[in-house]
Amino acid sequence: MKKNNDNIIPEGFFWGGAVTSFQTEGAWNKDGKGPSIVDARPVKEGYSNWETAVDFYHRYKEDIALFREMGFNAYRTSISWSRIFPDGEGEVNEKGLQFYDDLFDELISNGIQPVITLYHFDLPLALAQKYNGFASRKVVDLFDRYARTVFKRYGHKVKYWLTFNEQNLVLTKPQYWGVSLDGVDHKEAMLYQVAHNVFVAHAKAVKSLHELVPGGQMAGMVTYLATYPNTCKPEDVIANMKTKELLVDFFFDVFSNGEYPTYVIKDLERKGIIPIGEEGDAELLKENTVDYLSISYYQSQTVSAEKAATADEKGILSGVTPNPNLKTNEWGWAIDPIGLRVCLKDMYARYRLPIFITENGIGVREELNDQNTVEDDYRIEYLSEHIKQMKVAMEEGVDVIGYLTWGSTDLISSGGQFEKRYGFIYVNRGESDLRDLKRYKKKSFDWYKRVIASNGEELDALMSKSVR
């Protein structure tokens, strides 16, 4: 990409927003869609279900017109596997395929590049019930069939793809991959077996994309929790290093290098829990590395060796503890823009691959004011400071190709909360009261429009200077 005069951000840089199908579309049982594991989740008291979400399924043209007004040139969403194959493995659902054809056409006609995630925690329910999700190699093969189906259908419309959203959560939230650990004697062994199966599924999708879509670009994606030693004690430094290795580096190493790193192999050998593979797995991983790397970034934490030693059955997150030097949002997530720069610099130094920031944002409880808007200066400040740190990392040589905020409109959080609002566009509904679902522009709408129009030059003059 070509740089614009003195602006470190090049022409063609991707600006936009990111969502998932299940958190926005609604229409959970319309036009042949089968149930997913999300649809079967128990709904906590006072929370939302995902049946209607923000009704993007029926209102996408209205929303895309607003995205175009903001200046989006990229929009990340996911394809619902159970819209394409209602039970995950039977006949393809043409109405589901047609919906995404229409959606991608609408985005493209408005100058917006679809950036598409194949899997965002919404396995067809039948595959969880029948096979225990990605604990089974059968589901790995079915995922490849699904991936090849959508590559053939949409490969001429979609260039940028991601296999699994936040793939590193497989070790901490296996339920997102349709896996139950009930009755499993050695849970850690099962976690790494599922992780291996998902790596194989990822590599199969990379292979299929490169075979079927000339010029197609595939990413491996993690949620990057920046971590620091809790103190300058060497014990905390090592504890932090080990946490980062298993939480982040492990996945990027496999995505980029095509093999398990030695620090993982030695640990699994010592514990006697090497995952069971199939012939050809090693070659598959080695020959199908990614084209770029993708992250979600929201917060940072510290790691305490003492806490890790005393924690009980919390695995790789056992030593993680809040950083007392940082402010948090109302959900306790630390606000750390410099942490984004730390992540970007470390990633690029290790892997030398383009980086796409495909999620960054802040959730806040919000209501419309008398002018039918939201004065969300806190969101402007949060995003502005993160973009500033991204730009500093780019000045230091990091190749960043895009920045997508989490949410465009408000949406239902992955935990089922609608009042945790992320968007530039307020959607008029509550947790259970759907109201009229009307869209209203927040103050940040016009701010982000100016950011995009200036290619990241016009941020907020009231913000403090970036740390250099």
pLDDT at 230 over 60: yes
8 pLDDT band (50/70/90 cuts)? Answer: very high
How crowded is the C-beta side of 85, counted as CA atoms within 13 Å?
23
For the domain that residue 278 is a member of, what is the CATH number?
A: 3.20.20.80
- Given the residues 166, 366, 385, 419, select the one marked as catalytic: 166
Residue 394 confidence (pLDDT): 98
Which DSSP helix (H) or strand (E) runs through 64? helix 56-70
Spatial separation of the C-alpha atoms in residues 110 and 102, rounded to whole Å: 12
Asked if 135 and 181 touch (Cβ cutoff 8 Å), the reply is no
468 pLDDT band (50/70/90 cuts)? Answer: very low
467 lies in some domain: no
279 is catalytic: no
Q: Which two tokens stand for residue 71?
A: 């200046």
Residue 315 confidence (pLDDT): 83
Q: Which two tokens stand for residue 416?
A: 């089922």
206 lies in some domain: yes
Helices (H), 213-304: 234-244, 250-257, 262-271, 281-287
What mean pLDDT comes out for the span 172-198? 97
460 lies in some domain: no
Residue 5 confidence (pLDDT): 54
Spatial separation of the C-alpha atoms in residues 87 and 107, rounded to whole Å: 28
Residue 460 confidence (pLDDT): 74
DSSP letters spanning 133-155: GGGSHHHHHHHHHHHHHHHHHHT
Query: Tens digits of per-residue pLDDT, 151-169?
Result: 999 999 999 999 999 999 9
466 lies in some domain: no
Query: Tens digits of per-residue pLDDT, 332-355?
Result: 999 999 999 999 999 999 999 999
* Residues forming a β-bridge with 14: 402
What mean pLDDT comes out for the span 382-402? 98
- Given the residues 25, 359, 366, 419, select the one marked as catalytic: 359
359 is catalytic: yes
* Residues forming a β-bridge with 355: 293, 400
Query: Tens digits of per-residue pLDDT, 360-375?
Result: 999 999 999 999 999 9
86 lies in some domain: yes
Residue 7 confidence (pLDDT): 87
Asked if 132 and 138 touch (Cβ cutoff 8 Å), the reply is no
464 pLDDT band (50/70/90 cuts)? Answer: very low
468 lies in some domain: no
Domain count, the chain: 1
Residue 6 confidence (pLDDT): 74
The residue among 1 and 206 whose pLDDT is bigger is: 206
pLDDT at 270 over 90: yes
What mean pLDDT comes out for the span 399-426? 96
17 lies in some domain: no
Q: Which domain holds residue 51?
A: 27-453
14 lies in some domain: no
Residue 313 confidence (pLDDT): 61
* Residues forming a β-bridge with 228: 302
**Cα angle value 160/398/242 (rounded, 5°):** 90
